[in-house]
């Protein structure tokens, strides 16, 4: 029962692990960036999820209803900042991928290692 | 004005960064950015003096009182770190972007370099000064984004790959920290560190808080390059422009170390972290592994910058060793080492920058007989190297002395022996460079002469400071000991 009632957290964990797996297992740098995005989005969902109050409505003041139940807006606001951070990381990461492609002519990790003659 | 100093420290470089884009001449840019860094250093010193005299200073940002508003909280521990970071910036920025830096920035684009550098400074200062957990994440990402950009500006194309893997690792670390903060908020409903510390004991037996601690520690360990999460560091430091390496090596991991202390001792509390969860059982072996494996890897390098980068991995091990002992002496050792190592390693990377400016290479094979070709620079390297080993009368000796004392206090005779043994390994890698610099004949017709003064003077300044703080420990050890007592909650 608790397993099913916590389904949103399970979905988030699955998404997070997918992102992490893509980052580790994929050889292509652009795909690695996609994995990174999945990973970050799962955390955004996590925060939005913890801000939900059962039965609560959107946190906009309802006039004449002093005992109205609202969702917690704070995690949502925090995530606005985290989204900005995520977008910036993606922008810098993709800019680096473009520069790597200019310098090496490829974005595949295996070929990059060959071109540099190292495993690192 | 003076009551707003904590905010000014962060706002000043933040506002100065975009202003860099308006300045047309590289010389003006350098003067402007250096002036800003110097001003930050002056503010940090004023803050340090203030907290030493009157105790912790809580500043409500925008007049919104904590715990609802964001609080900047300055105490002895972070005032010391702030001063260290600002000092390094004030010394490194005047080196500018000469031939020494080894960068790939096209002429006419240097304003972007200074803007990124000031943003990095903003982020590092912000992370250190803030008393709000979410604010930590935001400033950490500002500093990280700026450092990915700066690392990618290195001359070799491998700098790009180093920056990319640094970005992947750094973002995983940052996101882990964000998850940890989320769990803490979930359990306590607050983000203010002081408030968290009050509310956590009531819920500290829950698995959610344990998970929060695990995520935060692993995230910070990535940023701190604790072995075995250090893989990004050697590449990032060896391919970044030399001045950037000098600043990052002196400050990047140090700020992460401070955060680990802050979360372990102030937010979670030593009783929970060490008593219940046993972080020391994990951190102690990892620190020892870092000390030895970092030093052994350094011995095997053929490039001077890479050698210093691996030596950083080893030196981070000393700092985390001080943390894992969780005693006043151990923390004092860790914090003094934070400061001393920032001076020594910052100075050594600047020395390498000076060498590269003349010889065009940091490969050991190209540095034969450099001791005769560049006597002052090489002497500075030797003095800095002695500091890394921890020879008496250098700053490195002071911090290792406290670490050995702390090891003996905790009854770890073997541990004290391990610290000395790893110092011997440091002696080997420093000696390799000395041998090449002084006992090999310089190649025929090799140019002689020192590096330009604008890189030589800052390098000698940092190395000189490391010698000064090896002899006169009143300030460095005094501040570190008070910070350690504050963190552990032991009266002075």
User: Do residues A104 and A115 make contact, with C-beta atoms less than 8 angstroms apart?
Assistant: yes
Out of A23, A74, A100, the one facing B160 most closely (by C-beta) is A100
DSSP string, B251-263: HHHHHHHHHHHII
**Between B152 and A2, residue with greater pLDDT:** B152
Q: Is B379 exposed, middle or buried (0-12, 13-18, 19+ CB in 10 A)?
A: middle
pLDDT of residue A1: 53
3-state helix, strand, coil in chain A (%, to 5): 70, 5, 25
State whether B138 and A120 contact (CB < 8 Å): no
CB-nearest partner of A32 from B157, B163, B168? B168
CA distance B195 to chain A (A): 16
Q: What is the pLDDT of residue B492?
A: 46
Interface membership of B68 toward A (CB under 8 Å): no
Look at residue B100 in the predicted model and tell me its pLDDT: 53
Triad B32, B104, B101: Cα angle to 5°: 55
Residue A64: pLDDT over 70: yes
> Which residue in chain B has the smallest CA separation from A105?
B157
- What residues of B are in contact with residue A104 (Cβ under 8 Å)? 157
* Nearest chain B residue (CA) to A31: B168
Q: Is the pTM of this model over 0.80?
A: yes
Interface touch A50/B171, C-beta < 8 Å: no
How far apart CA B45 and CA B475 sit, in angstroms, is 12
d(CA B50, CA A5) in angstroms, rounded, equals 52
Chain B interface test: which of A19, A99, A106, A114 (most B C-beta within 10 Å): A99
B164/A36 CB distance under 8 A: no
User: Does the predicted interface ipTM exceed a cut of 0.90?
Assistant: yes
Asked whether the beta carbons of residue A89 and residue B178 sit closer than 8 angstroms, the reply is no
Cβ contact, residue pair B175, A43, below 8 Å: yes
Distance CA B252, CA B128 (A): 11
Name residues whose C-beta falls within 8 Å of residue B89's C-beta, 6 or more positions apart in sequence: B37, B40, B41, B117, B121, B247, B251
Task: Name every residue in A having a CB less than 8 A away from some CB of B.
Answer: 20, 23, 29, 32, 36, 39-40, 43, 46-47, 50, 74-75, 78, 81-82, 85, 88-89, 92-93, 96-97, 99-100, 103-104, 112, 116, 120
Nearest C-alpha in B relative to A37:
B171
- Among B68, B130, B175, which would you mutate to test the A interface (most chain A Cβ atoms within 10 Å of its Cβ)? B175
**What is the C-alpha R_g of chain A?**
20
Positions of chain B with pLDDT lower than 50, given as ranges: 492
Q: Please give, rounded to a whole number of angstroms, the shortest distance from the CA of B384 to a CA of chain A.
A: 29
User: Residue range A102-112: average pLDDT?
Assistant: 87
Query: What's the pLDDT tens digit per position in A66-81?
Result: 778 888 888 888 999 9
Q: What is the Cα Rg of chain B in Å?
A: 21
Residue B14: in which H helix or E strand, if any? Answer: helix B5-19
Q: Do B157 and A40 touch (CB under 8 A)?
A: no
Q: How far is A79 from chain B (nearest CA, A)?
A: 10
Tell me how many helices (H) and strands (E) chain B has: 20, 2
**Residue B157 Cα, gap to closest chain A Cα (Å):** 6
Q: State the smallest CA–CA distance between residue A51 and chain B in angstroms.
A: 9
Number of Cβ pairs < 8 A linking chain A and chain B: 69
């Amino acid at each position: 029962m608790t397993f099913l009632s916590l389904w949103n957290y399970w979905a988030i964990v699955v998404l997070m692990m997918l992102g992490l797996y893509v980052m580790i297992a994929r050889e292509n740098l652009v795909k690695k960036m996609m994995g990174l995005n999945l990973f970050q989005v799962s955390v955004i969902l996590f925060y939005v999820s913890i801000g939900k109050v059962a039965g609560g409505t959107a946190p906009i003041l309802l006039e004449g209803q002093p005992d109205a139940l609202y969702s917690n807006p704070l995690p949502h606001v925090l995530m606005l900042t985290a989204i900005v951070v995520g977008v910036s990381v993606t922008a810098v990461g993709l800019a680096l991928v473009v520069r790597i492609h200019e310098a090496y002519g490829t974005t595949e990790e295996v070929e990059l290692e060959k071109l540099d003659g190292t495993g690192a | 004005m003076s009551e707003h100093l904590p905010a000014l420290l962060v706002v000043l470089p933040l506002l100065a960064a975009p202003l860099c884009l308006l300045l047309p001449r590289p010389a003006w840019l350098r003067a402007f950015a250096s002036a800003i860094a110097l001003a930050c250093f002056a503010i940090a010193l004023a803050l340090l003096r203030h907290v030493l005299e009157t105790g912790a200073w809580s500043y409500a940002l925008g007049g919104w009182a904590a715990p609802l508003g964001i609080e900047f909280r300055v105490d002895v521990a972070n005032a010391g770190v702030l001063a260290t970071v600002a000092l390094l910036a004030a010394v490194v920025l005047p080196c500018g972007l000469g031939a020494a830096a080894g960068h790939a920035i096209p002429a006419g684009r240097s304003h972007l370099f200074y803007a990124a550098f000031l943003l990095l400074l903003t982020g590092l200062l912000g992370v250190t000064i803030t008393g709000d957990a979410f604010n930590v994440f935001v400033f950490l990402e500002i500093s990280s984004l700026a450092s990915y950009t700066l690392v990618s500006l290195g001359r070799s194309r491998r700098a790009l790959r180093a920056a990319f893997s640094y970005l992947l690792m750094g973002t995983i670390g940052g996101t882990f920290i964000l998850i940890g903060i989320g769990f803490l908020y979930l359990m306590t409903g607050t983000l203010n560190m002081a408030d968290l510390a009050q509310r956590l004991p009531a819920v500290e037996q829950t698995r959610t808080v344990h998970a929060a601690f695990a995520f935060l520690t692993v995230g910070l360990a990535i940023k701190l390059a604790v072995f075995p999460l250090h893989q990004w560091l050697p590449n990032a430091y060896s391919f970044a422009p030399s001045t950037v390496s000098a600043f990052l090596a002196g400050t990047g991991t140090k700020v992460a170390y401070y955060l680990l202390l802050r979360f372990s001792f102030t937010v979670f509390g030593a009783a929970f972290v060490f008593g219940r969860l046993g972080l020391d059982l994990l951190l102690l072996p990892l620190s020892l592994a870092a000390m030895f494996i970092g030093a052994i890897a350094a011995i095997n390098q053929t490039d001077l910058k890479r050698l210093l980068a691996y030596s950083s991995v080893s030196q981070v091990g000393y700092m985390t060793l001080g943390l894992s002992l969780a005693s006043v002496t151990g923390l004092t050792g860790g914090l003094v080492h934070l400061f001393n190592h920032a001076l020594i390693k910052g100075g050594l990377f600047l020395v390498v920058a000076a060498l590269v400016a003349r010889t065009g290479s940091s490969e050991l094979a190209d540095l034969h007989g450099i001791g005769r070709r560049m006597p002052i620079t090489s002497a500075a390297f030797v003095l800095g190297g002695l500091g890394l080993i921890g020879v008496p009368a250098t700053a490195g000796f002071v911090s290792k002395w406290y670490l050995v004392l702390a090891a003996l206090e905790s009854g770890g005779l073997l541990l004290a022996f391990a610290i000395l043994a790893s110092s011997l390994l440091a002696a080997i890698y420093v000696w390799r460079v000395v041998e090449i610099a002084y006992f090999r004949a310089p190649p025929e017709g090799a140019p002689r002469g020192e590096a330009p003064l604008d890189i030589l003077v800052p390098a000698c300044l940092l190395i000189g400071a490391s010698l000064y703080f090896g002899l006169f420990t009143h300030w460095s050890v005094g501040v570190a000991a008070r910070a350690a007592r504050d963190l552990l909650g032991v009266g002075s």
